[in-house]
Amino acid sequence: MSLRHAEFLLLETFTGIRRNAFMSLAAVSTITVSLLLLGGLRLTIANLTQMAETLAGRFEMRVFLHTHLPTAQRDSLWKEISALPGVTGCRLVSKEEAWPQFRRRLQGAVDLTDLEGENPLPDSFVVRVADLTRMGAVADQIRRLRGVDDVLDTHEEAERVASLTRAVRAGGTLGVVLLVAVAAIIVGNTIRLTVYARRKEIGIMQLVGATNACVQTPFVLEGTLHGLVGALLALLLLGAGYTYLHDQIRQSLPFLELLPPSTSLVLSQSSILLGVGAGLGLLTSALSVHRYLRT
Amino acid sequence: MIEFQNVSVVYPNGAQALREVSLHIEKGEFLFLVGPTGTGKSTLLKLVYRELTPSQGQVVVNGEDVTRLPASRVPYLRRRIGVVFQDFRLLPQKTVYENVAYALHVIGTPYREIRRRVALAIDVVGLGRKAASYPGQLSGGEQQRACIARAIVNNPPILLADEPTGNLDPEMSQDIAQLLNDIHIRGTTVVVASHDIAIVNALRKRVVTLARGRIARDEAGGGYSPDEPEAC
């Protein structure tokens, strides 16, 4: 294709968009709305997953040792627990460390003066596991170790959170797949309509000796451009909306830790939306024009 | 220049449009195809610019058997044939100038050359003042002139016209017929399908009468009257 030809095809594309402004507007706004939904869903899922993961990270178990356990045995227990499969962290909370916390917590509620400075607390470990569903099993293993008095584990709650995380992930993936399919159908139909409205032109172009590529290229460029512009608009709206919402929630519900509107979030959203928009625009316009090419 | 050898066309619905038609059209000839509607005039023209392929027989245009032309070569065939339609078939979103220029753009003509040739073609058909108008803003006669300008802008050796005056009033029809004749005088082979008695009789050219898909008469300098017996 010569430079002159490329220039003509580009000009044709822009003239086509300008003179069919209403159809272009309809196509772009439809694409914007469906991609906005897709982006919104992805943001929601990302936040839910993030929340579930933060929550899961907070689950840990407390392993209490027998009081007056010798330091050497305590250290070997620490090594043993740390080496258990699935354990990601084991931190010692010595009784000296625990005592002031304990007193502070009970201040005023219980009279501790009759202890006369004696520390009744045992040493303990704070243990974290990688997989919340295995917390119960790990706790049982630890219980059987010598020197361990009791294990306070939260495996039931932990398992509930873990299955919730799984459900959010699975439902989210399904939702994204469905919405991509819906977006594909809507975008495809809109672009097909813009081509359908001009199907007679395609026949005329062929009659005056335009090659198929010559007829097809402006339509395909137009469709791709519609997809890209629609995706850009969706991104802008999504970005503005999310930043606003994030600020609002941080002020009124500070315990909800939303993902900050960071560069990586913007990148992941824009790659998907621009990809889906432009890809669908290109594919559906090419297919639609192809239908009306008679030779 | 155009040669039909034993050409038959059967449409997918079973209707037989042409039956073993053989016809030879010389370079530089002006020929009218006449006959009532549905006798195969349009079909014959469509075979020339490969809108259709025959069920049987050969169509040779410029020494090339167009029935065997691969689809990718069809655009190049059409660049050497100008076609004028009863319903004009102008691109509605383009001005007269752009419609005429489009035919040159698709063959990669340089811009300066396009400006010169489009201006010339529009001048030949007498539409100079309407060059910036859209088809919807033109009368039927003006749209037909635009269509003719588009058909001849590329200086094709062959010009086909399918009922070019079918949508026009008699006065306008005479002008269009005269325009087609002027183009013929410049050396173009012109084939006009028409049942407009007035223009056929006015120009006194070779007249080929079709009846039920066959050639019923072939007369040089002939006239046409619809009550002639439709010989088979």
Rounded to two decimals, the ipTM of the complex is 0.84
Instruction: Note whether B106 contacts A207, CB cutoff 8 Å.
Output: no
Domain shared by A174 and A262, yes or no: yes
pLDDT at position B229: 47
Of B160 and A59, the one with more pLDDT: B160
The beta-carbon neighbor of A210 closest among B75, B77, B92 is B75
Of B122 and A264, the one with more pLDDT: B122
Domain shared by A211 and A262, yes or no: yes
Check CB contact of A9 with chain B, cutoff 8 Å: no
What does the pLDDT look like over A61-98, one tens digit per residue? 888 888 888 888 888 888 888 888 888 888 888 888 88
Mean per-residue pLDDT for A226-242?
93
What does the pLDDT look like over A117-157, one tens digit per residue? 677 788 888 888 887 777 888 888 888 888 888 888 777 77
- Using DSSP, state whether B165 is helix, strand or coil: coil
User: In a mutagenesis test of the B interface, which of A205, A206, A208 is the best target, namely the one with the most B β-carbons within 10 Å?
Assistant: A208
**How many other C-beta atoms lie within 10 A of the C-beta of residue B96?**
29
Of A244 and B230, the one with more pLDDT: A244
Phi/psi of residue B165, each to 5°? Answer: -110, 10
First-to-last alpha carbon distance for chain B, in angstroms, is 26
pLDDT at position B228: 53
Taking all residues of chain A, what is their mean pLDDT, rounded to a whole number? 85
Q: How many angstroms separate the CA atoms of B81 and A207, rounded?
A: 9
Domain shared by A278 and A191, yes or no: yes
pLDDT at position A112: 67
Q: How many angstroms separate the CA atoms of B223 and B200, rounded?
A: 6
Residue with tokens 């490329």: A6
Q: How many angstroms separate the CA atoms of A34 and A38, rounded?
A: 6
Domain shared by A83 and A147, yes or no: yes
**How many other C-beta atoms lie within 10 A of the C-beta of residue A158?**
23
Domain shared by A68 and A50, yes or no: no
Domain shared by A129 and A178, yes or no: no
Domain shared by A178 and A203, yes or no: yes
Domain shared by A134 and A259, yes or no: no
Evaluate if residue B227 carries a pLDDT over 60: no
- Domain final position from A153, A169, A198: A153
pLDDT at position B27: 94
Considering all CA atoms of chain B, what is the largest pairwise distance in Å, rounded to the nearest integer?
54
Instruction: Note whether A208 contacts B110, CB cutoff 8 Å.
Output: no
CATH number of A100's domain: 3.30.70.3040
Domain shared by A190 and A252, yes or no: yes
- The token pair at A25 is 């507007």
Number of domains in chain A: 2
| DSSP bridge partners of B16 | B10
Of B83 and A15, the one with more pLDDT: B83
- Domain final position from A153, A178, A211: A153
Residue A102 belongs to what domain range?
60-153
pLDDT band, residue B67 (cuts 50/70/90): very high
Check CB contact of A171 with chain B, cutoff 8 Å: no
Domain shared by A277 and A175, yes or no: yes
pLDDT band, residue A108 (cuts 50/70/90): low
- Domain final position from A89, A122, A153: A153
Contacts of A12 in chain B (CB under 8 A): 105
**How many other C-beta atoms lie within 10 A of the C-beta of residue A53?**
12
Domain shared by A10 and A137, yes or no: no
What does the pLDDT look like over B7-66, one tens digit per residue? 999 999 988 999 999 999 999 999 999 988 888 999 999 999 999 999 999 999 999 999
Domain shared by A183 and A262, yes or no: yes
| DSSP bridge partners of A167 | none
Contacts of B45 in chain A (CB under 8 A): none
pLDDT at position B232: 39
Mean per-residue pLDDT for A272-295?
88
Contacts of A198 in chain B (CB under 8 A): 93
Of A54 and B151, the one with more pLDDT: B151
Instruction: Note whether A20 contacts B90, CB cutoff 8 Å.
Output: no
Chain A: residue nearest B94 by CA? Answer: A19
Instruction: Note whether B107 contacts A209, CB cutoff 8 Å.
Output: yes
Evaluate if residue A224 carries a pLDDT over 70: yes
Query: What does the radius of gyration of chain B's CA atoms come to, in whole angstroms?
Result: 17
Check CB contact of A210 with chain B, cutoff 8 Å: yes
pLDDT band, residue A45 (cuts 50/70/90): confident
What stretch of H or E contains B113? helix B111-124
Check CB contact of A15 with chain B, cutoff 8 Å: yes
User: In a mutagenesis test of the A interface, which of B49, B105, B160 is the best target, namely the one with the most A β-carbons within 10 Å?
Assistant: B105
On whether the CB atoms of residues B128 and B122 are closer than 8 A, the answer is: yes
- The token pair at B54 is 């025959």
Contacts of A20 in chain B (CB under 8 A): 93
